[in-house]
Amino acid sequence: MISDAARYVGQAAIYGLLALAIGYFSSRPMVVYFPTDKAQIKFSFAHGAKRVEECRRLAPEEIAKLPPRERRPHTCGRERLPMRVQLLVGDVPIYDDVIQPTGLSRDGPARIYRKFSIAPGRHEITARLRDSNRMEGFDYERRVTIELKAQQNLAIDFSSDQGTFTIR
Amino acid sequence: MRLLRLSIRRIFDLAESGLGKVFPPEWNPLLNLGALGFFFYWVVTVSGIYLFIFFETAVHDAFASVEYMTRDQWYAAGVMRSLHRYASDGLIVVVIAHLLREFALDRYRGVRWFSWVTGVPALVLIFVAGITGYWMVWDTLAQYVALVTTEWLDKLPIFGASIARNFFSPDTLESRFFTLMVFMHIAVPLIALVILWVHLQRVTKPRINPPRGLAIGVFVALLALSLVHPATSQGPADLAKVPATVGLDWFYLPLYPLLDRWPGPVTWGASGALLLILLAMPWLPPMRKPAAAVVDLANCNGCTRCFNDCPYSAIIMGNRTDGRPFERQAIVNPALCVGCGICAGSCPTSTPFRTASDLIPGIDLPDHSISALRDAVLAATAPLQGKSRILVFGCEHGSSISNLPPGTSSVSLRCIGQLPPSFIDFVLSKNLADGVVLVGCSENSGHARFGIRWTQARLARARDPHLRARVPAERLRVVWAGRDGRTKLDSALRDFSRELDELLAPPSRAVAERMAKLEEFIRD
């Protein structure tokens, strides 16, 4: 038989173990989320590319064919073009892809959310976007030279309203 | 599945037995996991209300307000913050242990599916509540949690816009989204509480408060931990920087490193599959359910004992349907009945002394009847010989009662609570054995919840049906042994046999035999 004193000591030990486990595992062991000797470029935006079928004025006979409540002077196709996006560090493309529009009718904005880790230091960074049906070149481009520190998060966004990349 | 269940059960049996050496049975933490969960929940709630008084809900002020509580007001709000965190962690520990233990004891299938299935969303919501709580501190860990969570949610193509873009750069951070997190951190635990209320709906007299001694012990441990190792923040969040190393709360965030590294289809697929498996477990495979208890109206006078004793609310009292002059009758809901037989043990008509009519109680198990129990007792005691003959009543979930020592035989019940106390009187007064031993689950750990409690109350003559006063206490032993308790049972049987030998020394034995002959003469 265990004496009462030993039982109390045993209980205290169990409570102590519980507290120890909770205290330790509530913040340890640590995990490495991002290497301390790297910087990050976060490249993300949502943009509606040009429509596959441009808006055009309807002919009077076409307007007449429409139900009275739906008559309008213009018609626009819903589907948007895919978006070509490129990101270069120096002359090296670290991202080059074609992003499809969202939505069942492909009429929503194309979205991108990508992260890249690069070495800290001075870099020339170029972001390019083509959102039209042109075959070559890009509609938007921005190039900056920037000094990146370790663990810095460089956010590259695109403002559809201003038609330019923002880098911060 | 069975092998896995038995393996985990073995671990729990050993842990329960080990803890039973230092804790009184009613304080054993493993036997109070659900109640401890509620206790932690209330500690989290009370400390959370206090913290909310000082917490600034605007994202740019949140960190500073938490720092104020942690540093400047360490003696009050700081301790409350630590209690809030550590009790939340304790909640996860006991809830996961509770889930595993119910699985190991096979108490999640059959009619218990409801409690299992309703427990799963409660568990998910507890995790969500904890994760949103870490978000609110808006330190480096919060930034990590926000980034990994939103990027993971964005991998599911159902959201119209990217949620992670809220944390794209310092300029994109708005208090509105942060306020949503604060709202969720309050609303989600409240929804979880409602689900926990539903979770307990099919459990009679659920234990939602731990014994006071255990509650005090746990609280003192949390308080000591809060003072010795206070919960602190990990530096302010800064979206212009990437968190490098973070101290994770492994109780709430153990999968976060994987969410970040593994592809979305894998993590979402695994999460969905895990959730579906958890929800489907009561039917993987379905339990072969024993026959539900059946009421025999000819023997039911509507006394309500079975209604009061049923641990699963499977019996209700309804209006009389047979025209007999009683107000009510017992009605069994087969969908809720686990077939433990506790109702039959409580029925006043379950007496083996009945000879004028067939032994059909007012309520009984069709496949494990009281009549068959009497036959089993007569069959088991007939070959008993020796100086001290002992009959052991055991149950399906307690210690093994096979291969007992010579002079001892056994009868198995569904639950020890199925045994009407009159059977003990029957065995001893009919001189079928010299002593009776009841063996059940380990104390405070009844498989059918109230089997031990009601048996103890009946033997103590505190609950109907009482053990008759003429039954000599020295000829009855009770051993709460559990599945691992065979050694304890063997030891108890040796001691009891020795005591009976002394008790039934020749003069006493002669008297007993004369009394038996006298009873026989009177009966004839």
In this complex, which of B172, B218, B234 lies closest to A15 when CB atoms are compared?
A: B218
Comparing A27-41, B163-177, B189-203, the range with the smallest average pLDDT is: B163-177
Given a cut of 60, whether residue B4 has pLDDT beyond it is yes
Ordered alpha helix ranges (H), B287-363: 305-309, 342-346
Q: Which among B137, B307, B106 has a CA at the least distance from the CA of B205?
A: B307
Whether residue A6 lies within 8 A of chain B, CB to CB, comes out as yes
Q: In the predicted model, what is the mean pLDDT of residues B371-390?
A: 91
Taking only the tens place, the pLDDT of each residue in B342-353 is 999 999 999 999
Q: Report the residue of B168, B220, B239 to disrupt the A interface, i.e. the one with the largest count of A CBs within 10 Å.
A: B168
Chain B nearest-CA distance from A87, in A, is 17
Phi and psi dihedrals of B290, rounded to 5?
Answer: -65, 160
Contact of B15 with chain A, judged by CB distance below 8 Å, is answered with no
Lowest model confidence (mean pLDDT) among B83-92, B199-208, B248-257: B199-208
Burial class (CB in 10 A: 0-12, 13-18, 19+), B346: buried
Rg (CA), chain A: 29
Q: Note the pLDDT of residue B505.
A: 67
**Which among B165, B245, B256 has the least Cβ separation from residue A44?**
B165
Domain ranges of chain B: 2-239+248-280, 294-504
Q: Look at B161 and A46 and tell me if their CB atoms are within 8 Å.
A: yes
- Closest partner residue to B247 (CB to CB) among A16, A28, A155 is A28
**Tokens coding A106:** 């492909």
| pLDDT, position B22 | 92
- pLDDT for position B59: 82
From first to last of the 168 residues of chain A, give the pLDDT tens digit: 678 889 999 999 999 999 999 999 999 999 999 999 999 999 998 888 888 888 889 999 989 999 989 888 888 888 889 999 999 999 899 999 999 998 888 888 899 999 999 999 999 999 999 988 888 888 999 999 999 999 999 999 998 888 899 988
How high is the mean pLDDT of chain B?
A: 90
Alpha-carbon distances of B259 from B245, B267, B445, B499, rounded to whole Å = 16, 6, 39, 64
- Which residues partner with A127 through β-bridges? A87, A142
- As a whole number, mean pLDDT of residues B412-421 equals 94
Whole-number Å distance between alpha carbons of B54 and B238: 22
Of chain B, the percentage scoring pLDDT greater than 90 comes to 67
Residue (of B437, B127, B412) closest to B254 by Cα position: B127
Residue-level pLDDT at B166: 86
pLDDT beyond 80 at B357? no
How far apart CA A32 and CA B138 sit, in angstroms, is 19
| Secondary element (H or E) of residue A121 | strand A121-130
DSSP, residue by residue, B193-221: HHHHHHHTTTSSS---S--HHHHHHHHHH
List C-alpha distances in Å: A49 to A37, A56, A139: 37, 17, 11
d(CA A110, CA B468): 83
pTM attached to this predicted model: 0.82
pLDDT of residue B506: 59
Strand, helix or coil for residue B438: strand
Reading the block at residue B146, the tokens are: 């926000």
- Least Cα separation, residue B494 to chain A (angstroms): 17
Residue B524 has pLDDT above 70, yes or no: no
User: How would residue B275 be classed by pLDDT, with cut points 50, 70 and 90?
Assistant: very high
Residue B109 has pLDDT above 60, yes or no: yes
The answer to whether A35 contacts B154, with C-beta atoms less than 8 Å apart, is no
Inspect the interface and report whether the beta carbons of A42 and B168 lie closer than 8 Å: yes
What lies within 8 Å, CB to CB, of B287 at 6+ separation is: B106, B109, B110
Assess whether pLDDT exceeds 90 at residue B389: yes
Look at residue B512 and tell me whether its pLDDT is greater than 80.
no
Q: Which of residues 84-103 of B touch A (CB under 8 A)?
A: 85-86, 89-90, 93
| A46 interface with B at CB cutoff 8 Å | yes
Question: Measured between beta carbons, which residues in chain A are less than 8 angstroms from residue B44?
Answer: none
pLDDT for position B342: 95
Reading the block at residue B471, the tokens are 């039954």
Closest CA to B13 of B105, B116, B108: B105
Q: Tell me what ipTM this predicted complex has.
A: 0.87
> Would the pLDDT of B426 be above 70?
yes
Q: Out of 3.40.50.2300, 3.40.50.1820, 1.20.960.40, 1.20.810.10, select the CATH number for domain B2-239+248-280.
A: 1.20.810.10
3-state secondary structure of A127: strand
Per-residue pLDDT, B165: 86
Query: Which residues of chain B have a CB within 8 Å of the CB of A44?
Result: 162, 164-165, 168
pLDDT value at residue B21: 87
The per-residue pLDDT for A145 is 94
Residues of chain B positioned with their CB less than 8 A from the CB of A21: 93
Of B462, B466, B465, B490, which is closest to residue B477 (Cα–Cα)? B490
Residue B406, preceding bond cis, omega within 30 degrees? no
Lowest mean pLDDT among A26-30, B213-217, B286-290, B410-414: B286-290
Residues B11-36: what's their mean pLDDT?
Answer: 90
The pLDDT score that the predictor gives to residue B228 is 96
The residue that leads in pLDDT, B443 or B449, is B449
pLDDT of residue A148: 93
Nearest C-alpha neighbor of B184 from the set B113, B126, B140: B126
Q: Is the dihedral of CA B241, B237, B258, A110 positive or negative?
A: negative
Give the model's pLDDT for residue B507. 55
Q: Residues near A63 by Cβ (< 8 Å), separated by ≥ 6?
A: A71, A72, A73
